[in-house]
Amino acid sequence: MRIGVDIDGVVSDSYPAWLQELNRHYGKNITVLEDYEMHLVFDVPWDDMNDFFVENVDHLLSMPKPVPGAREGIESLRREGHEVIFVTARRPEEEKVTLKWLEKYEIPHETVLFSGFKSKVDLVKQWQLEAFVEDHLANARGISALGVPVLLLTTSYNRGKLPAGVTRCATWTEMVTVLRQLASG
Ligand SMILES: [Mg+2]
């Protein structure tokens, strides 16, 4: 199977790390991210938070640790003959820091696609992906509407009702199990 895998919140444990940096920057003490839109959580304009990210991009994309089980899960899938294609909303300018991070944590990668904040749906179609691993509910909704099964890794910001075709998974081990079931039809 050709599997699309998101990076932030799925492979890179970005949000807890960013929460810590944003608390420092904004002088707040938010412990749980209940909304994917972090500027809403911090009650600041989107542009303001975007400026902070742009100014500190190398640090913010380098500092997170991998999500537990991500490397092992990706290794297993590849060993079993599946193709893993990373699809991130990061901007193409962030390719270098992204590849460096994947190398640092020895996460096998051949193809990494950057949507640059745009919808991932077009890339899913273009690359004929057969399953997708995601943490953002809106992306899961858009991709599953194409008929592509989505696995949603549970986080504090994606609770709630799931659309048809989206399977919630608590861990990478669980996601690998579901992907194997999908592959065996
Ligand atoms: Mg994500």
The string of pLDDT tens digits covering residues 121-169 is 999 999 999 999 999 999 999 999 999 999 999 999 999 889 999 999 9
Which three-class secondary structure string do you get for 103-118?
HHCCCCCCEEEECCCC
Task: Please tell me the total count of domains within the chain.
Answer: 2
Domain match, 129 and 153 both: yes
Domain match, 142 and 87 both: yes
Distance 160 CA to ligand 1 centre (A): 17
Domain match, 93 and 44 both: no
Does the pLDDT at position 15 exceed 90? yes
φ/ψ region of 69 (left if φ > 0, alpha if ψ in -120 to 50, else beta) reads: left
Catalytic residues: 6, 8
Domain match, 27 and 108 both: no
Domain match, 82 and 154 both: yes
* pTM exceeds 0.85: yes
Q: Which domain holds residue 117?
A: 2-13+65-183
Distance 101 CA to ligand 1 centre (A): 16
Q: How confident is the model at residue 185 (pLDDT cuts 50, 70, 90)?
A: confident
Domain match, 162 and 101 both: yes
54-75 tens-digit pLDDT = 999 999 999 999 999 999 999 9
CATH code for the domain in which residue 161 is found? 3.40.50.1000
Distance CA(136)–CA(129), nearest Å, equals 17
Domain match, 83 and 158 both: yes
The CA radius of gyration of the chain, in Å to the nearest whole number, is 16
